[in-house]
Amino acid sequence: MKKIGIIGCGWLGSRIAASMSGRYPIYTTATTNIKADELNSKDFNATVASFPDFQLEKKITQWDEIKGMDVLIITIPLSGKSCCVSSLYNRIQHLLSFIGDFKGQMFVMSSTGVYPDIPGNYTEENLSYNQVPGERMIRNAYPQVNILRLAGLMGDNRLLKNYTISNLEAPVNHIHYEDICHVIEKMMEKGSEGKLYNVAAPEHPSKGLVINAQKNLPSAEETIGEGKIILSSKLISELDFVFKHPDPKAFH
């Protein structure tokens, strides 16, 4: 039975752990004792750990549970979209100290936010991992890492209607967390290594249509303005992947 590690058990990490619960031994990290206690109550074997953006006097010690681990899933922010390169470098160096010379299957959650905010269709070929600082740093340390560029995380309590939204005619790039879990499991089954995939639902309705659907309001005519469209065609082709939630209008 594969031993699974999840670094970062926030909104997404907790749902990934829950999707695998009862089928694999799961080991997690949390930033507080309260969160660790919550994870331990679900048999998610939590260790308190954090990866600050600044240098520390002492190196972070290696995670005891990493020994014998088969799969490592990292959900802490590493794309570099929201911080400077030096802060990102510090965070990743702390992470490397924590996981050491890990040789197993590895997944890093990146973001489709790394693509420029310019209207058009975007595939992985538009931006290599070498052009994204965080992706480049982690791939240089662990050539086997699979990088998943996730669209806007949705499902359960995360719905577009709960946010202040502008430009309602712009298309959405969303992904339901259940499909992220399915992508990871499909790649685990195939033993995938060194892959870079966009993970976005294949349908891209306008923000306005998604909000109307979530509020149970009648949909106006399908009017979709210009915007960025993230394509998951490579993922669909290489994994023969079928999305459980292809249409963001139906995520709720």
Give the model's pLDDT for residue 86.
85
Give the model's pLDDT for residue 221.
66
Q: Is the pTM of this model over 0.85?
A: yes
Tell me the domain boundaries of the chain.
Answer: 4-163+173-205+229-250
Architecture label for domain 4-163+173-205+229-250: 3-Layer(aba) Sandwich (3.40)
Alpha-carbon gap, residue 176 to 151, rounded angstroms: 9
| Listed residue (235, 230, 241) closest to 123, CA to CA | 230
Give the model's pLDDT for residue 81.
64
DSSP secondary-structure letter at 92?
H
Tokens of 77: 């922010």
Question: How many CB atoms are located within 10 Å of the residue 206 CB?
Answer: 23
Tokens of 185: 């499991």
Alpha-carbon gap, residue 180 to 17, rounded angstroms: 12
Give the model's pLDDT for residue 1.
82
Please report which residue ranges of the chain form alpha helices under DSSP H.
Answer: 11-20, 33-40, 85-99, 133-141, 177-190, 207-214, 233-239
Tokens of 90: 């510090």
Give the model's pLDDT for residue 124.
98
User: For tokens 């009862």, what's the residue?
Assistant: 22
- Phi and psi angles of residue 186, each rounded to the nearest 5 degrees, phi first: -65, -40
Give the model's pLDDT for residue 225.
85
Instruction: State the number of CA atoms in the 13 A half-sphere of 37 facing the CB.
Output: 3
Alpha-carbon gap, residue 128 to 158, rounded angstroms: 29
For residue 83, the SS3 value is coil
* Cβ contacts of 36 within 8 Å, gap of 6 or more: 30, 46, 47, 48
Sign for the pseudo-dihedral over CA of 9, 7, 24, 63:
negative
Per-residue pLDDT of the chain (252 residues; tens, 9 = 90+): 899 999 999 999 999 999 999 999 999 999 999 999 999 999 999 999 999 888 888 889 999 999 889 999 999 988 766 667 888 999 999 999 999 999 999 999 999 999 999 999 999 999 999 999 999 999 999 999 999 999 999 999 999 999 999 899 999 999 999 999 999 999 999 999 999 999 999 999 999 999 999 999 887 666 788 999 999 999 999 999 999 999 999 998
For residues 171 and 205, the answer to whether their CB atoms sit within 8 Å is: yes
